[in-house]
Amino acid sequence: MEPLSWGGIFAGMFVQLIPVWIALIVTFTVSIYYKRKLGLYGKLFDSTIGMIGFALVMFWVFVAALGSMDMILTHDPLGQVSGMKNKLPGTPLRGAQDGDYAHYLLGGDNLARDIFSRVMSGATIVILIAPLATLFAYMVGITLGLPAGYFGGKFDTLLSFVANLVLAFPVILLFYLLVTPEIVNTGLPQYMAIVLFFFPLIFFSVLINTRLKQQPQKNVIWLCAVLIPLAVMYVVTINAPSTKIDILGSLDFFNPAAGILVVFVSVVFVNSPTVFRIVRGLTLDIKQRDYVAAAQTRGEGPWYIMLWEILPNARGPLIVDFCLRIGYTTILLGTLGFFGLGLPPESPDWGSTINDGRKLLSIYLHPALPPAFALLSLVLGLNLLADGLREESLRD
Amino acid sequence: MGLFILRRLGVMILTAICLTFIVFFLTNLHPNLEKLAKTQGEMRMSDEQVDRWLANRGYDQPLPIKYGEWLGVWPSKIIEVDDGRAYGRCLQTGVSIADTPRFCGVIQGDWGFSTVFKDEVSSIVATRLSLTGKLMFWVMMLMIPSALLIGVLAGMREGSRTDRSLSTVSIITTATPEYVSGVIFIALFAASASPLNQWLASMDWIEGRTLFKGTATSAMENANFNNFFLPVLTISLYGMGYIARMTRASMAEVMTAQYIRTARLKGVSFPKIVVKHALRNALIAPFTVIMLQIPWLLNGVVIVETLFNYKGFGWVLVQAAGNNDIELLLGVSVVSVIVVLITQLISDIGYVYLNPRISVS
């Protein structure tokens, strides 16, 4: 077998990614066709920058989704093939059987694993954790920021002090203090998870209860439908076998892979104070408006006003910041991987692979560059998307 | 104004105390102490030996007391062991136990002893901080002028082609974390395997085999363009885009103001309008952003110093955190908290001076 030329490598990758291209084309055709009926999402397709950003983000989302369904990877991301150590891109696989993909498209890393497959499966980890962690940070930030801004007073002073405290911490020091194995063994991240993961429950119960208080029957149905699955998820997520918190025993059907929970908790913890500050600032601004005064004269409760009058009117800046913050979370995840914290060392996430690749960077360029460009393109896509959304939401 | 600064200083001290207490608590958790005992004493100590090792050095005291000793508000205990040796924070060689001072904490100027570097924390922090100071100075020299220039050029004609391309550049730089840009720069300019370097070397245009050096270790004593430019560029780039975008936004806003239109109608030339009329008002917002960027740069410093092996403050932070070097870690966190809070204070005060419409209440 001949090694592939650069043209051959790109052609190979293009062919390998065909499911992603199809999914992208379908998404774009449908969205552009119906864009007038889709609100803010549809308006995104009026701005070029927004479309480019959306395409970059959706590319990685589809890679993550289809990659976990095993439609894109050429090799096992953890599998080592002898003789493929540090081999250049396009090197034919040594001892390839029928049914094996015949080349290492982007070469092999220092443990003879296929770099292309590792980058693609790294996307799954990032796309799974980053938006979800940002969402949790938003739940925490909103649930605390709204009352802090609305009521003010001692509660606000205390929470703002705590938020500034966390923000004054150098992020990397915080990661080192939370994510080292010794601390993980004490169960501290799990205790933090108990607190942080409880906020979505509070948020949704208050959200539903304030809206449907007058219709008790509907209220109960809605509360059950939302809270029971959430509560079950809450309990099985924080419960992990053979740690300090193991009360369910064999009932525990969901256990995230080693280290993911810890990484998730620390990222949520670092992000929520900033969200808190943003939400608090927006609330301080919006509570002066006439419609809030109108709701107050109507005799609405404070939580109803916060969640159904103030929050929907703060959505513009929050959506834009949400996109930016997913990018920032991706960068934080990469930082964790770069310092070898949290995730297991063989994990294919981009930060860890960059860290592995940089050690031999002066001799072998190819292991470190693909994950670096992957991370760059995803964060760039999110920033462009946020820019497009900001432009379009300012237009009306 | 005086009262405002005083109140801020009070909050600052309170924040520093809370933060160091958290660091103290986390580093003094039992598994961490066990690790410390095993790395400092012997790897194969039994649990009993570990406990005795910790007790001899006073690590088994209640947390508030240990914290008080570190802070210098609680008399430091001196523990005499059976074999005649004594352990205590305040002991110094050549000073008898009777003459040893009772308090020796941060307040007395004694920052403790690093278990990893076997040296006084204060001297380690001072030398490393001066190295990082050198790095930061050049980062500022590169980052601020170029960010302001990009921002002003982009913002003076909003929507023009210059604006679009410069804005794209600044978005790209904000999307590139230091560990990505650093790796790309090393691969491109500092690796002998890079096509660029091979071409340059084959043309005999560069001495040696690479354009820049991939490590900045030699820059600690003797910094030059060759070994120092890449780390400086890597840190500056990430912050640059953000400052440039803020400057652009503020410049674009100023350019739509009435007095600018008046000046144009009077026939003042465009460069003169930008430099004389717009610039001053447009630079208020970026000033705050630049000051608030400094704590953020601290993060970049840690990554870049690790990546380029430049043994400054960020490198010490990683070493101290990785080895659970309690007193060094506390020293490092005190310094970084002070940096963060002082920059916030300066940015608030400076904002008031630059913008007379805002007053401190």
Residue A248: the pLDDT is 67
Shortest CA distance to A66 belongs to which of A30, A24, A106?
A24
Tell me: pLDDT of B202 over 80: no
The tokens describing B313, both together, are 């403050």
pLDDT (mean) for B343-358? 73
Percent of chain A with pLDDT strictly greater than 70: 94
What does each C-alpha distance from A100 to A2, A104, A118, B197 come to in angstroms? 16, 11, 16, 36
The tokens describing A98, both together, are 């029928």
Shortest CA distance to A362 belongs to which of B204, B225, B213?
B213
Residue A52: the pLDDT is 92
Give the structural domain span for A361.
6-122+351-395
pLDDT digits (tens, 9 = 90+) for A199-218: 999 999 999 988 888 888 88
- Residue A53's pLDDT band (cuts 50, 70, 90): very high
What does each C-alpha distance from A222 to A130, A136, A219, A232, B84 come to in angstroms? 28, 21, 5, 16, 72
Shortest CA distance to B67 belongs to which of B19, B131, B124, B3?
B19
Q: How many Å apart are CA A301 and CA A283, to the nearest integer?
A: 16
Report the SS3 class of residue A275.
helix
A245 touches chain B (CB under 8 A): no
Burial class (CB in 10 A: 0-12, 13-18, 19+), A163: buried
Query: Tokens 């922090």, residue?
Result: B125
- Residue A10's pLDDT band (cuts 50, 70, 90): confident
Same domain for A317 and A357?
A: no
Shortest CA distance to B129 belongs to which of B107, B146, B111, B144?
B111
Tell me: pLDDT of B102 over 90: no
Same domain for A166 and A313?
A: yes
Residues on chain B touching A161 (C-beta within 8 angstroms): 11, 14-15
Return mean pLDDT, chain B.
83
What does each C-alpha distance from A153 to A48, A53, A160, B217 come to in angstroms? 45, 41, 11, 51
| Closest CA–CA distance from residue B331 to any residue of chain A (Å) | 12
Residues with Cβ within 8 Å of A6's Cβ and at least 6 positions away in sequence, in order, are A89, A90
Tell me: pLDDT of A50 over 80: yes
pLDDT (mean) for B317-323? 87
Q: Which of B11, B193, B317 sits opposite A172 (nearest CB)?
A: B317
- Decide if A335 is inside a domain: no
Please tell me which residue of chain B has the smallest CA distance to A364.
B193
pLDDT (mean) for B330-357? 79
Same domain for A291 and A143?
A: yes
- Decide if A133 is inside a domain: yes
Return mean pLDDT, chain A.
86
Residues on chain A touching B179 (C-beta within 8 angstroms): 334-335, 338, 351, 354-355, 358, 372
Same domain for A183 and A79?
A: no
- Decide if A137 is inside a domain: yes
Tell me: pLDDT of B59 over 90: no
Give the CA angle between residues A329, A333, A334 to the nearest 5°.
115
How many structural domains compose chain A?
A: 2
Residue A96: the pLDDT is 67
What residues does A103 pair with on adjacent strands?
Answer: A92
Q: Which residue pairs, CB below 8 angstroms and at least 24 apart, start in B93-99? A: none
Cβ <8 Å between A362 and B35: no
Buried b (16+ CB within 10 A) or exposed e, B22-58: bbbebbbbeebbbbbbeeebeeeeeeeebbbbbebbb
Residue B115: the pLDDT is 82
- Decide if A1 is inside a domain: no
Same domain for A286 and A267?
A: yes
- Decide if A343 is inside a domain: no
A361 touches chain B (CB under 8 A): yes
Q: Compute, in degrees rounded to 10, the torsion defined by CA atoms A346, A352, A354, A360.
A: -50
Residues on chain B touching A173 (C-beta within 8 angstroms): 23, 317, 321, 329, 332-333, 336
pLDDT (mean) for B188-205? 79
Residue B303: the pLDDT is 92
- Decide if A339 is inside a domain: no
pLDDT (mean) for B257-261? 90
Q: How many Å apart are CA A104 and CA A95, to the nearest integer?
A: 12
Tell me: pLDDT of B76 over 90: no
pLDDT digits (tens, 9 = 90+) for B109-137: 778 888 888 888 889 999 999 999 999 99
Q: Which of B30, B214, B295 sits opposite A361 (nearest CB)?
A: B214
pLDDT digits (tens, 9 = 90+) for B12-55: 888 888 988 988 888 888 888 888 888 777 777 788 888 888 87
Same domain for A309 and A241?
A: yes
**Sequence letter at residue B8:** R
- Residue B253's pLDDT band (cuts 50, 70, 90): confident
Same domain for A111 and A128?
A: no
pLDDT digits (tens, 9 = 90+) for A292-328: 999 999 988 899 999 999 999 888 889 889 999 999 9
Same domain for A59 and A117?
A: yes
Please tell me which residue of chain A has the smallest CA distance to B29.
A183
Q: Which is more confidently placed, A326 or A36?
A: A326
| Closest CA–CA distance from residue B227 to any residue of chain A (Å) | 15
Cβ <8 Å between A170 and B306: no
Q: Compute, in degrees rounded to 10, the torsion defined by CA atoms A271, A272, A276, A282.
A: 50
Please tell me which residue of chain A has the smallest CA distance to B12.
A165
The tokens describing B239, both together, are 């912050």
Residue A232: the pLDDT is 87
Residue B80: the pLDDT is 72
Cβ <8 Å between B190 and A362: yes
Residues with Cβ within 8 Å of B175's Cβ and at least 6 positions away in sequence, in order, are A327, A376, A379, A380, A382, A383, B241
Cβ <8 Å between B171 and A380: yes
Same domain for A179 and A318?
A: yes
Residue A109: the pLDDT is 82
Please tell me which residue of chain A has the smallest CA distance to B241.
A383
Residue A279: the pLDDT is 93
Same domain for A237 and A277?
A: yes
Q: Which of A57, A88, A177, A395 to mutate to test the interface with B (most CBs of B within 10 A)?
A: A177
Percent of chain B with pLDDT strictly greater than 70: 92
Q: How many Å apart are CA A187 and CA B8, to the nearest integer?
A: 36
* Contact present, A98 and A41 (Cβ < 8 Å): no
Tell me: pLDDT of A353 over 60: yes
- Decide if A342 is inside a domain: no
What does each C-alpha distance from A333 to A126, A371, B288 come to in angstroms? 8, 13, 28
Cβ <8 Å between B317 and A331: no
Give the CA angle between residues A130, A228, A238 to the nearest 5°.
50
Residue A249: the pLDDT is 65
- Residue A242's pLDDT band (cuts 50, 70, 90): low
Please tell me which residue of chain B has the smallest CA distance to A373.
B180
Same domain for A355 and A291?
A: no
Tell me: pLDDT of A237 over 90: no
- Decide if A267 is inside a domain: yes
Same domain for A63 and A98?
A: yes
A166 touches chain B (CB under 8 A): no
Domain end among A273, A295, A327: A327
Helix axes A198-212, A115-151, angle to 10 degrees: 50
Residue A57: the pLDDT is 94
pLDDT digits (tens, 9 = 90+) for A83-93: 777 777 877 77
| Closest CA–CA distance from residue A345 to any residue of chain B (Å) | 16
pLDDT digits (tens, 9 = 90+) for B168-177: 899 999 899 9
Cβ <8 Å between B324 and A182: yes
